[in-house]
């Protein structure tokens, strides 16, 4: 009951006088979280001493820590034999190991001992070569170990891993769109960079030409930069050019005047970031936001209501005299304070302000007065994805339509995860359609910036990941699980773990034990079953999306074959259904809330200290 947040499953009666220790639910969960964090931190501290792992962030190290087991060898026990495949990566916790019979490319070497903190096996596994020595324990020795398959999945291709780290470091050294690129953003840019090659003599652009903004990173070869009034300079491996074209505005309609003639002086391979990609990753600049005074908003009708407030359809007359429609979320400060939700609302606002994707709800402006806080957001007029899934002739969608919607949802999640944001409440009611029929993830109340793990119990029961229920700590893998549940529901018409009449504890036990099956019939393809099966895996580190290539592993699963994610980002695909919208204020695709009135909430005025809670809103 403590673990699942469910009613007691049994009645317990004292048969004689007893003295008991009592642990409440909050303390119980904190004990579990503290123990797990302590264990992971000790492992990560040891892994940080491994040279090739030093550049990994806490989240990646955390995945290594969770996967690694502990094993103890007795003195004289053999761990590996020369000439056999290396099956494990080892990090010594205590004791000593001795390598004997060492031979590399026919050359023999002296015996060597390894002690606490040393690691063995990484290069042999990544280069897929046999063990170069026989390894035995000198004394009782305890090691952390990682099986070969898991090691490869976590590291990916070693050359790719090293290249991405180098790209990330290079991109952190520049300003783009008048903004300094931080480590997280640089990592995202490195992962979406396109690699192209050019022969000697190719001219990228000439001085004085009008060119679109773009950034180039030289991976191999050389280019020459020539400019009147400046010395000719050469840019070689890991050097950048094009910085001057991205230092100002990144408006897609903008062209800039090239200040150099750039010519390939030695066959070159470059990583390229075009203006569309840069805008997608970076979002609008600080000077591109809209300044809409609150008193210039006109209220029309209520779009929805919740525990802490209401959402209104509002409009604002733009500079051209036309009405632009928005959604205005109003929340009552007193109620937020009394229910300890004020910090959560501020966190939601701050996260929304840093996310600038077409696939995630966009915050336009914020306001507050003595009683309320207000969030002005873009209006998405296509209604809920739930209505598309369950409101037609049946409760399921054809797989072709499901591919478009799930690819769009994945694009939104990927954008968040690349910024260390986990969403934690994915369900069809929290996905809207815009006027063109593309998906938009909304309601970021449970979203959180997480660089390693978090232990908060939150979300919607039907879509919760096992690690959230078990309080073992969770990261973006919890979103992948919910994605798998949503995919199952979209294709099958029902969620995988619920049956009519079961209670919440039974539901949670089914989730933890992965107890689900596919409905009978041939309406679901083997590829769909495969993708769902690889995502609905109880162990988060074994779940598709959690390996070195992250969401790319999901995007490249055979079920998504034929979906062009680049065209999806550019909104060049045709959605399965386009909403019928008559005007900017048309909200006919939503439920009718006209029966509700604009209620003025009662409550005692906030004290000055309570008002300070909202200072950063």
Structural domain includes residue 13: no
Question: What is the number of H-type helices and E-type strands within the chain?
Answer: 19, 29
Q: E strands within 148-281?
A: 175-176, 179-180, 194-198, 203-205, 210-211, 214-226, 233-235, 240-241, 256-257, 261-274
Predicted confidence at residue 245, as pLDDT, reads: 80
443 pLDDT band, cuts 50/70/90, is very high
Q: Over pLDDT 70: what percentage of the chain?
A: 90
Q: Residues 261-282: pLDDT tens digits?
A: 999 999 999 999 887 778 777 7
The last residue of one of the domains, among 110, 129, 155, is 155
Structural domain includes residue 233: yes
Same domain? 537 vs 478: yes
Structural domain includes residue 506: yes
Coil/strand/helix, residue 377: strand
pLDDT at residue 393 is higher than 80: no
Q: E strands within 14-84?
A: 69-73, 78-80
612 is in an annotated binding site: no
> Do the Cβ atoms of 153 and 134 come closer than 8 Å?
no
In total, how many domains does the chain have?
4
Same domain? 432 vs 552: yes
Same domain? 399 vs 528: yes
Q: Residues 22-50: pLDDT tens digits?
A: 888 777 777 776 766 676 777 778 887 77
pLDDT at residue 543 is higher than 80: yes
CA pair distance 443, 428, nearest whole angstrom: 12
> Cβ–Cβ contacts within 10 Å for residue 203, how many?
12
Q: Residues 73-104: pLDDT tens digits?
A: 999 999 999 988 888 889 998 999 999 999 88
Q: What is the mean pLDDT of the chain?
A: 86
- Tokens at residue 586, please? 């048309």
Same domain? 546 vs 423: yes
Same domain? 413 vs 326: no
Q: Over pLDDT 90: what percentage of the chain?
A: 48
Structural domain includes residue 20: no
Of 425, 434, 479, 553, the catalytic one is: 425
CA pair distance 428, 389, nearest whole angstrom: 8
Tell me the average pLDDT across 133-152.
89
Same domain? 482 vs 558: yes
Q: Residues 187-205: pLDDT tens digits?
A: 778 878 888 999 999 999 9
User: Of the ranges 87-91, 184-188, 283-287, 572-576, which one carries the lowest mean pLDDT score?
Assistant: 283-287
Question: Is the Cα dihedral 233, 236, 240, 241 positive or negative?
Answer: positive
The last residue of one of the domains, among 235, 263, 286, is 286
Same domain? 398 vs 539: yes
Structural domain includes residue 3: no
Same domain? 57 vs 178: no
CATH number at residue 315: 3.30.200.20
Judge whether 425 counts as a catalytic residue: yes
CA pair distance 547, 153, nearest whole angstrom: 5
Predicted confidence at residue 512, as pLDDT, reads: 93
Predicted confidence at residue 287, as pLDDT, reads: 45
Predicted confidence at residue 99, as pLDDT, reads: 92
57 pLDDT band, cuts 50/70/90, is low
Same domain? 396 vs 373: no
Q: Residues 551-564: pLDDT tens digits?
A: 989 999 999 999 99
The last residue of one of the domains, among 238, 261, 286, is 286
Highest mean pLDDT among 362-371, 453-462, 591-600: 362-371
Which residue range is the domain that position 168 belongs to? 159-286
Same domain? 222 vs 305: no
Question: Is the Cα dihedral 63, 184, 169, 552 positive or negative?
Answer: positive
Structural domain includes residue 538: yes
pTM, two decimals, is 0.77
Tell me the average pLDDT across 459-463.
94
Structural domain includes residue 512: yes
Same domain? 560 vs 444: yes
Same domain? 517 vs 453: yes
Three-state SS string across 437-450, please? CCEEECCCCCCEEC
CATH number at residue 204: 2.60.120.10
Structural domain includes residue 6: no
- Tokens at residue 234, please? 């050469």
């Amino acid at each position: 009951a403590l673990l699942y947040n469910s009613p007691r499953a049994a009645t317990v009666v004292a048969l004689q006088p007893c003295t008991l220790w009592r642990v409440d639910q909050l303390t119980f969960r904190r004990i579990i979280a503290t123990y797990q964090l302590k264990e992971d931190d000790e492992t990560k501290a040891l892994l940080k001493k491994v040279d090739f792992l030093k550049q990994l962030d806490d989240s990646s190290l955390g995945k290594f820590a969770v996967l690694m087991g502990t094993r103890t060898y007795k003195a004289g026990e053999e761990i590996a034999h020369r000439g056999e495949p290396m099956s494990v990566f080892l990090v010594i916790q205590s004791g000593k190991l001795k390598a004997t019979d060492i031979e590399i490319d026919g050359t023999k070497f002296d015996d060597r001992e390894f002690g606490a903190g040393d690691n063995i096996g990484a290069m042999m596994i990544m280069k897929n070569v046999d063990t170069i020595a026989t390894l035995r324990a000198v004394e009782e020795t305890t090691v952390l170990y990682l099986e070969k398959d898991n090691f490869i999945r976590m590291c990916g291709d070693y050359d790719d891993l090293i290249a991405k780290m180098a790209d990330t470091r290079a991109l952190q050294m520049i300003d783009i769109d008048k903004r300094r690129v931080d480590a997280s953003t640089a990592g995202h840019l490195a992962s979406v960079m396109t690699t192209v090659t050019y022969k000697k003599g190719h001219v990228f652009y000439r001085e004085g030409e009008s060119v679109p903004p773009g950034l180039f990173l030289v991976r191999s070869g050389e280019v020459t930069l020539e400019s009147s009034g400046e010395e000719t300079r050469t840019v070689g491996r890991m050097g950048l050019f094009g910085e001057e074209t991205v230092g100002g505005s990144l408006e897609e309609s903008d062209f800039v005047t090239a200040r150099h003639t750039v010519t390939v002086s030695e066959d070159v391979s470059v990583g390229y970031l075009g203006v569309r990609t840069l805008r997608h990753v970076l979002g609008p600049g600080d000077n591109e936001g809209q300044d809409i005074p609150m008193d210039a908003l006109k209220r029309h009708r209520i779009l929805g209501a919740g525990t802490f407030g209401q959402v209104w359809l509002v409009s604002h007359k733009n500079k051209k005299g036309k009405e632009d429609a928005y959604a205005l979320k109003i929340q009552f400060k007193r109620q937020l304070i009394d229910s300890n939700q004020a910090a959560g609302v501020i966190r939601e606002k701050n996260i929304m302000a840093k996310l600038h994707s077409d696939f995630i709800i966009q915050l336009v402006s914020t306001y507050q007065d003595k009683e309320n806080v207000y969030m002005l957001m873009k209006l998405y007029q296509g209604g809920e994805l739930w209505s598309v899934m369950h409101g037609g002739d049946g409760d399921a969608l054809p797989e072709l339509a499901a591919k478009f919607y799930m690819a769009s949802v994945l694009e939104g999640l990927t954008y968040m995860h690349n910024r260390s944001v986990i969403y934690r409440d994915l369900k069809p009611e929290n996905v809207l359609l815009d006027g063109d029929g593309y998906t938009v993830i909304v309601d970021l109340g449970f979203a959180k910036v997480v660089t390693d793990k978090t232990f908060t119990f939150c979300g919607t029961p039907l879509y919760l990941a096992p690690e959230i229920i078990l309080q073992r700590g969770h990261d973006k893998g919890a979103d992948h699980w919910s994605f798998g549940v949503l995919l199952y529901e979209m294709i099958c018409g029902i969620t995988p773990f619920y049956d009519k009449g079961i209670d919440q504890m039974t539901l949670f036990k089914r989730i933890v034990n992965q107890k689900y099956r596919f409905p009978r019939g041939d309406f679901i393809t083997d590829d769909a079953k495969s993708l769902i099966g690889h995502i609905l895996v109880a162990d988060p580190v074994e779940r598709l999306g959690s390996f070195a290539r992250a969401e790319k592993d999901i995007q490249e699963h055979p079920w998504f074959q034929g979906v062009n994610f680049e065209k999806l980002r550019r909104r060049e695909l045709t959605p399965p259904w386009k909403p019928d919208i008559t005007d900017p204020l048309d909200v006919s695709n939503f439920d009718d809330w006209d029966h509700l009135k604009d209620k003025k909430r009662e409550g005692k005025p906030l004290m000055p200290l309570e008002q300070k809670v909202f200072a950063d809103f």
